[in-house]
């Protein structure tokens, strides 16, 4: 607890001393009368000033919530001796605000009484935080001293990024042997019709297409596409970000990564994660609800850590990138190391799609005369990077703040369809 | 508003120094309004000093010294209300009785200061003579009071 003298005590003591000295110097007793009340307040208040004895318990309503969701915070304050004036303010994590309940709240606590306070905290930004700590500023009866302390139990609170709406996700070129929801390109047992072919020894009778057989006079059978699952690796570039006060490219990247992971896991695909930046973090592909929480927790830890060390794709463990996996890279395309790693992956035969989190809306607006040229050169350089990826057969689509992620996904799908046709 | 009322009372009682008292009161009230708007507590002692000077001007020009306890109580009320406003400008009361208790305390302080002022006015009317010794005692009392306040504040902190 910290104790400080209030400005009131200093002011009153100064005014009282000044008034009394002026009264003596000028021989005017009225000045002493004017100064007397300002001496009276400290004379009464100082002997009565006591340090407040407060005990507090706080309860946080949830351990995890989604960006934009609310969490209830309850605080019980008990005072051994009366506290006539206490301002109670919740220590809020970044991006959070109290939507219900006054913050700060002004309370008076009687001796031996317990005051219960409640707030609804809206979490505006994803991340791992602590909540439950409360700052209390109390004053003595006449407000001559200010006592400040922090009380309450700090509880972990995970705020998960809000998901973007996605109707469909990007289909990988290759599937895995396990059963899933993706229609495989190869033929086998499945539901989706693929083609007709003549009957061969060993074909099941129920696969015979009787209409075709009746027309041709010889046995024909249906070929099917089996449903398989896929391996998807989400590659998050965290080397650098473009940022303004309230948002940055990393925020959008994390939101996109969380959305994609959730959608692919809902399709029973195996999803892995590579956070490639100053700190390398990875999760091997797996499926299920546990993997979903693992991925989101790993995304919450994602941060931009400035590093000049050169890193290439060899630092990523091999089992994190299974063969025939689709790698969806989410990157602002600002750092050469991430670009080189993606190009390297492509050359190794991985199926890659890049969602570019556009840093343009986050770039500062400048007024210098030379800036238009600088900005043009910067944009041209970014366009050249995209072209280099296109020439490798990697689709790069720009996703901006406020736009639907679905449109970016559709654009990637269109690029891949066009590339597929060109190959044929 | 209360500062304006105290200033107006000082101007009314000021006689020939009315212009000076009016200037001091008006500037003090304006500075207080600006200070409260911006949340600056530093303006309060200067406001009280200016209003006190306006009140002193009224006594210098033949004002009735018997009214000085009322001015003193008014100044104290202005100071207390200003600090009250500054202390609670960001917070919202959630438990009942905070304002009522503070208002009662303020009333008690105002009443006490009027009583002390009345005693001081009565004491000042007693002709105890004059001289260097009495003036020295007065200065010593003022210095002792300031020192006592300082010592008490240090001990309490």
ipTM of the complex: 0.81
What's residue A331's pLDDT? 92
Mean pLDDT of B4-15: 66
Does the beta carbon of A82 lie under 8 angstroms from any beta carbon of chain B? no
φ and ψ at residue A256, rounded to 5 degrees = -65, -45
Residue ranges of domains in chain A: 2-48, 54-160, 194-225, 231-423
Indicate yes or no: CB of A105 within 8 angstroms of CB of B93.
Answer: yes
Indicate yes or no: CB of B149 within 8 angstroms of CB of A117.
Answer: no
Residues B86 and B135 in one domain: no
What's residue A284's pLDDT? 92
Q: Which residues pair with A234 in a beta bridge?
A: A273, A328
What's residue A34's pLDDT? 83
Instruction: Check: CB of residue A139 under 8 Å from CB of residue A6.
Output: yes
Residues of chain A in contact with residue B122, where contact means CB-CB under 8 angstroms, are none
Residues B54-104 have pLDDT tens digits of: 877 777 766 677 778 888 888 888 888 888 888 887 777 777 777 888 888
pLDDT surpassing 80 at residue B109:
yes
For testing contact with chain B, the best of A17, A25, A34 (most B CBs within 10 A)? A34
DSSP line for A176-245: -SSEEEEEPSS-BSSSEEEEEEE--TT--GGGB-HHHHHHHSS-EEEEEEPEE--EEEEEEEES---B-S
Does the beta carbon of A16 lie under 8 angstroms from any beta carbon of chain B? yes
More confident residue, A375 or A72: A72
Residues of chain A in contact with residue B65, where contact means CB-CB under 8 angstroms, are 29-30, 33
Residues B72 and B147 in one domain: no
What's residue A329's pLDDT? 94
Instruction: Check: CB of residue A233 under 8 Å from CB of residue A273.
Output: yes
For the beta carbon of residue B67, count every other beta carbon within 10 angstroms.
19
> Which residues 56-75 of chain B have a CB within 8 Å of chain A?
56, 59-60, 65, 68-69, 71-73, 75
Residues B86 and B112 in one domain: yes
Name which of A9, A14, A36 is nearest B113 (Cβ-Cβ).
Answer: A36
Residues B122 and B155 in one domain: no
φ and ψ at residue A219, rounded to 5 degrees = -75, 130
How would residue A87 be classed by pLDDT, with cut points 50, 70 and 90?
confident
Name which of A36, A84, A117 is nearest B101 (Cβ-Cβ).
Answer: A84
Q: How far apart are CA A31 and CA B52, in angstroms?
A: 8
**Exposed / middle / buried, residue A207 (Cβ in 10 Å: 0-12, 13-18, 19+):** middle
Tell me the CATH number of domain A231-423, given options 3.30.420, 3.40.190, 3.40.50, 3.30.70: 3.40.50
Determine the residue of chain A that is closest to B68 in CA distance: A30
Of A273, A269, A307, residue with least CA distance to A288: A269
Does the beta carbon of A78 lie under 8 angstroms from any beta carbon of chain B? no
More confident residue, A346 or A5: A346
Instruction: Check: CB of residue A356 under 8 Å from CB of residue A399.
Output: yes
Residues B71 and B135 in one domain: no
Q: How far apart are CA B6 and CA A188, in angstroms?
A: 97
What's residue A209's pLDDT? 92
The gap from C-alpha A50 to its chain's centroid, in whole angstroms, comes to: 45
Indicate yes or no: CB of B79 within 8 angstroms of CB of A8.
Answer: yes
Residues B140 and B81 in one domain: no
Does the beta carbon of A135 lie under 8 angstroms from any beta carbon of chain B? no
Residues A368-418 have pLDDT tens digits of: 666 778 888 888 999 999 999 998 889 999 998 888 889 989 988 888 887
Percent of chain A topping pLDDT 70:
98
Chains A and B form CB pairs within 8 A to the count of 173
Instruction: Check: CB of residue A13 under 8 Å from CB of residue B150.
Output: yes
Of A155, A156, A95, residue with least CA distance to A124: A95
Indicate yes or no: CB of B79 within 8 angstroms of CB of A87.
Answer: no
CA angle in degrees (0–180, nearest 5) for A224-A225-A231: 165
Domain residues for the domain of B136 are 131-157
Mean confidence (pLDDT) of chain A: 85
Indicate yes or no: CB of A34 within 8 angstroms of CB of B156.
Answer: no
DSSP state of A391: H
CA angle in degrees (0–180, nearest 5) for A189-A192-A193: 90
Q: A282 by DSSP, 3-state: which?
A: strand
Residues A161-212 have pLDDT tens digits of: 887 888 888 888 777 777 777 777 778 888 888 899 999 998 888 889 999 9
Q: Please identify which residue in the block is written with the tokens 């219900």.
A: A100
Distance from CA of B31 to the nearest CA of A (A): 16
Name which of B75, B91, B153 is nearest A37 (Cβ-Cβ).
Answer: B75
CATH fold of A54-160, please? Immunoglobulin-like (2.60.40)
Residues of chain A in contact with residue B75, where contact means CB-CB under 8 angstroms, are 34, 37-38
Q: How far apart are CA B114 and CA B145, in angstroms?
A: 19
Residues B119 and B150 in one domain: no
Does the beta carbon of A4 lie under 8 angstroms from any beta carbon of chain B? yes
Q: How far apart are CA A103 and CA A97, in angstroms?
A: 9
Does the beta carbon of A212 lie under 8 angstroms from any beta carbon of chain B? no
Strands A134-139 and A83-90: antiparallel
Residues B94 and B144 in one domain: no
Same fold yes or no, A54-160 and A231-423: no
How many structural domains compose chain B?
2
Residues B76 and B153 in one domain: no
What's residue B3's pLDDT? 67
pLDDT surpassing 70 at residue A10:
yes
What's residue A301's pLDDT? 83
Does the beta carbon of A304 lie under 8 angstroms from any beta carbon of chain B? no
Strands A64-66 and A155-160: parallel
Mean pLDDT of A11-24: 83
Residues of chain A in contact with residue B79, where contact means CB-CB under 8 angstroms, are 8, 11-12, 38
């Amino acid at each position: 607890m910290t104790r400080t003298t209030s400005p009131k005590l200093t002011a009153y003591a100064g005014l009282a001393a000044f008034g009394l000295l002026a009264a003596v110097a000028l021989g005017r007793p009225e000045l002493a009368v004017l100064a007397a009340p300002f001496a009276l307040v400290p004379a009464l208040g100082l002997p009565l000033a006591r340090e407040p004895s407060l005990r507090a318990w706080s309860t946080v309503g949830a351990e995890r919530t989604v960006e934009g969701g609310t969490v209830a915070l309850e605080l019980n304050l008990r005072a051994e001796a009366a506290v006539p004036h206490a301002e109670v303010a919740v220590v809020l994590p970044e991006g959070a605000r109290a939507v219900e309940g006054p913050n700060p709240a002004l309370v008076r606590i009687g001796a031996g009484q317990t005051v219960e306070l409640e707030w609804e905290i809206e979490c505006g930004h994803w991340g791992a935080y602590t909540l439950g700590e409360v700052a209390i500023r109390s004053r003595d009866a006449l407000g001559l001293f200010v006592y400040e302390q922090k009380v309450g139990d700090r509880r972990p609170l995970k705020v998960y990024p809000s998901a973007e709406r996605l109707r469909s996700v990007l289909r990988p070129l290759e599937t895995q042997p396990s059963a899933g929801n993706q229609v495989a390109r190869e033929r086998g047992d499945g539901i989706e019709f693929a083609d007709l072919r003549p009957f061969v020894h060993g074909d099941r009778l129920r696969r015979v297409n009787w209409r075709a057989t009746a027309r041709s006079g010889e046995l024909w059978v249906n070929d099917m596409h089996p449903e398989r699952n896929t391996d998807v690796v989400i590659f998050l570039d965290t080397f650098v970000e473009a940022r303004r006060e309230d948002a940055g490219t990393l925020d959008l990247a994390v939101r996109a990564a969380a959305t994609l992971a959730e959608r692919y896991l809902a399709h029973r695909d195996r999803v892995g994660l590579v956070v490639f930046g100053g700190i390398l973090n990875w999760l091997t592909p797996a499926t299920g609800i546990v993997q979903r929480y693992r991925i989101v927790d790993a995304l919450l830890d994602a941060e931009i850590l400035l590093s000049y060390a050169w890193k290439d794709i060899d630092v990523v463990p091999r089992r994190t990138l299974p063969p025939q996996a689709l790698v969806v890279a989410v990157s602002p395309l600002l750092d050469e190391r991430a670009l080189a790693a993606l190009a390297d992956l492509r050359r190794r035969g991985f199926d890659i799609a890049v969602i570019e989190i556009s840093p343009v809306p986050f770039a500062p607006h400048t007024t210098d005369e030379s800036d238009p040229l600088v900005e043009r050169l910067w944009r041209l350089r970014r366009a050249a990077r995209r072209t280099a990826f296109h020439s490798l057969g990697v689709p790069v689509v720009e996703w901006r703040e406020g736009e639907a992620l679905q449109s970016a996904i559709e654009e990637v799908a269109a690029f891949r369809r066009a590339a597929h046709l060109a190959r044929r | 508003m209360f500062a304006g009322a105290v200033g107006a009372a000082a101007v009314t009682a000021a006689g020939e120094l009315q212009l000076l008292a009016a200037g001091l009161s008006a500037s003090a009230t304006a500075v207080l309004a600006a200070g409260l708007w911006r949340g600056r507590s530093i303006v309060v002692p200067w406001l009280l000093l200016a209003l006190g000077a306006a009140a002193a001007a009224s006594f210098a020009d033949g004002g009735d010294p018997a009214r000085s306890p009322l001015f003193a109580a008014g100044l104290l009320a202005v100071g207390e209300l200003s600090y009250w406003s500054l202390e609670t400008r960001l917070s919202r009361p959630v438990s009942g009785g905070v304002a009522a208790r503070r208002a009662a305390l303020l009333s008690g302080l105002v009443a006490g200061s009027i009583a002390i002022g009345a005693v001081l006015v009565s004491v000042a009317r007693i002709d105890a003579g004059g001289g260097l010794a009495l003036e020295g005692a007065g200065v010593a009392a003022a210095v002792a009071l300031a020192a006592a306040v300082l010592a008490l504040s240090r001990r309490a902190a």
